[in-house]
Structure 1
Amino acid sequence: MTEIAESPLPRTLPSTYLEAAIRGGLRCTCPRCGQAPLFRKWLKPVDFCYACGQDWTLQRADDFPPYISILITGHLMAPLLILLVLDFHLSILATSTIALPLAAGLMLGILQPAKGAVIAAQWWLGLVGFRKERLPQEPKA
């Protein structure tokens, strides 16, 4: 059994949601500490962070990451499809041969970072049972 750290507030706590989203979404590491992996499989988050002990079983990303992936893919593919059909005058078969694999690859490539960013948002905002944590603010002079 793996030993879980007992650090109540890691020194590397993010100062903004953007930092937490980059950790969870782009780097696929723990949004809280940025040290350990967030996913144990492609879309399956770890139960606990091995570096800071954060419980990730509370997350409820559900269907939101696929919606994000579909939205981004659709917005990226629409201009490409218009370009292929109207400017290059490609047939439906040629357009489909290019567009379908590209759309599938984009959707699958965006899905894990989207799930990491949604988990980071839930943790950052203190939703679905997460404790809202912030670094202590230094007094302004």
Structure 2
Amino acid sequence: MADHSTNAADSIVERETKPAILRGLRRRCPNCGDGALFEGYLKVADSCPVCHEEYHHHRADDGPAYLTILIVGHILAVLMHFLWSQFRPDPLVFATVLTIVCVGLSLYLLPRLKGMIVAIQWARRMHGFGGKS
């Protein structure tokens, strides 16, 4: 006797990850790309003002901070090596320039990486994003 039951996973529409990531990096809704993902600098909105996709159940946690540290650290390591080997700046100038670059780059990357992580969770239906297709 054949089993005619349908699997719930078969009826779920697949969400493309790459467009969602690009939208998240722009701090936009991973679903429609038009609505703002954040209410403030890092506060994720409860839902999209355009398509009403809910975000309140996201779990970005410390992931964006770890990625920011990883990226900024690698950029600064190369920059430190290049600046020191080519120009031998005064240590105070060296530290000041690198501090400004570090803080500026961190402030720029952090919300974008958080948007990317929320978008990946949305695309992969993680942490409550799988409720509707």
| TM-score band w.r.t. shorter chain | 0.7 to 0.9
RMSD: 1.9
Q: Give the corresponding residue for 2:36.
A: 37
Q: Point out the structure with the larger helix share.
A: 2
Separation of aligned partners in 1, 2:132 and 2:98: 43
Deviation at 1:91, TM superposition (A): 2.8
- How far apart are 1:105 and its partner, in Å? 0.4
Partner secondary structure for residue 42 of structure 1 = coil
Cα offset for 1:51? 1.6
What does the per-residue CA deviation read over 1:49-90, in whole Å, with 9 as the maximum and x for residues that have no partner? 122121100101010001111111111111110111122112
Name the CA distance, whole Å, in 1 between partners of 2:109 and 2:21.
Answer: 14
CA-CA distance at 1:122 after TM superposition: 0.6
Runs ≥4 in structure 1, deviation > 3 angstroms?
A: none
TM-score by length of 1: 0.79
1:10 paired residue number = none
2:8 is aligned to none
Percent of pairs with identical residues: 36
8 Å CA contact 1:14, 1:32 repeated in 2:
no
Whose RCO is larger (CA < 8 A, sep 6+)? Answer: 2
* CA–CA distance in structure 1, aligned partners of residues 132 and 85 of structure 2: 51
CA distances 1:82-128 after superposition (whole Å, capped 9, x unpaired):
11112211232121011001111001100000000000011111111
**Distance in 2 separating the partners of 1:53 and 1:84:** 48
- Mark the runs of 5 or more structure 1 residues left unpaired by the alignment: 1-12, 135-141
Q: Does structure 1 retain, via aligned residues, the 8 Å contact 2:28–2:35?
A: yes
Q: CA deviation at 1:16?
A: 2.7
Kindly provide the CA deviation profile for residues 21-63 of structure 1, in whole angstroms up to 9, marking residues without a partner as x: 11111x2110011121111101001101122121100101010
Larger Rg: 2
Mapping 1:124-139, distance limit 5 Å: 124-131=123-130
* Partner Cα distance (1:98, 1:109) in 2: 16
Q: Which runs of 5 or more structure 2 residues have no equivalent in the other structure?
A: 1-12
Summarize the Cα distance change of 1:28–1:14 in structure 2 as closer, same or farther, 3 Å threshold.
farther
1:20 aligned residue = 20
**CA positional deviation for 1:130:** 1.0
Contact 2:15 2:124 in 1 (8 A): no
